[in-house]
């Protein structure tokens, strides 16, 4: 039987952007199975809870049979091993990402040499896009249409509206 390769695509996804979706789409074309793994408790004050992030990821990636959504905490390499994954998938946008990604890839290799980090480059249109910029633009009243999936934008708007009602 041909070898099946599982890749973990880890991240905070707070919120999920179209850049992330682009990487997931490219990854699921290359690997037999892609597990999108949401890091739990990454920020003290996240926009979305990990459950909400998983729910949105599930809605957006539901069209791909070989993509699963999960949550993890602790060391990424331990989580990858527990899932039988041999690859950590990361998107790399510009040179500025390189240093951080390079450090993580080498640290993960030191921790678990059998796991390989694979970098994919998103479409040019998303090369400037980040979750933190999306949060900032949205919080200041700017449009995030086209930067995040429509379900994410709707959710952001509904969440803001319900927060305002509570104030």
- Token output for 68: 């699963």
The catalytic residue among 33, 53, 90, 93 is 93
Tell me how far, at minimum, the Cβ of 75 lies from ligand PNS, in Å: 4
Q: Are 116 and 86 in contact (CB under 8 A)?
A: yes
| Rounded-to-integer distance, Cα 147 and Cα 138, Å | 11
Tell me how far, at minimum, the Cβ of 10 lies from ligand PNS, in Å: 4
Residues at the contact surface with ligand PNS, assessed by CB under 6 A: 10-12, 39, 42, 75-76, 104, 107-108
Q: Are 160 and 129 in contact (CB under 8 A)?
A: no
Catalytic (active site) residue 20: yes
- Phi/psi at 19 (5° precision): -65, -40
Tell me how far, at minimum, the Cβ of 38 lies from ligand PNS, in Å: 9
Nearest to 135 by CA among 37, 16, 9: 16
Catalytic (active site) residue 131: yes
Q: Which is nearer to ligand PNS, 5 or 104 (CB)?
A: 104
The catalytic residue among 44, 63, 110, 165 is 44
Residue 21, SS3 per DSSP: helix
Q: Which is nearer to ligand PNS, 61 or 163 (CB)?
A: 61
The residue with its CB nearest to ligand PNS is: 11
Which residues are marked as active site?
20, 44, 93, 131
């Amino acid at each position: 039987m041909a070898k099946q390769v599982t890749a973990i695509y880890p991240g905070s996804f707070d919120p999920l952007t179209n850049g992330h979706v682009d990487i997931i789409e490219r990854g699921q074309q290359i690997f037999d199975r892609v597990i999108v793994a949401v890091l739990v408790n990454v920020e003290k004050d996240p926009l979305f809870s990990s459950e909400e992030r998983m729910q949105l990821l599930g809605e957006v990636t539901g069209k791909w049979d070989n993509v699963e959504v999960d949550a993890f905490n602790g060391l990424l390499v331990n989580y990858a091993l527990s899932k039988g994954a041999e690859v950590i998938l990361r998107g790399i946008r510009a040179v500025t990402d390189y240093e951080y990604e390079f450090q993580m890839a080498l640290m993960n290799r030191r921790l678990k040499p059998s796991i390989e980090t694979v970098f994919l480059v998103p479409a040019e249109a998303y090369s400037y896009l980040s979750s933190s910029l999306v949060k900032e633009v949205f919080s200041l009243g700017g449009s995030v249409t086209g930067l995040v999936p429509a379900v994410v934008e709707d959710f952001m708007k509904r969440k803001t509206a319900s927060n305002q009602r509570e104030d």
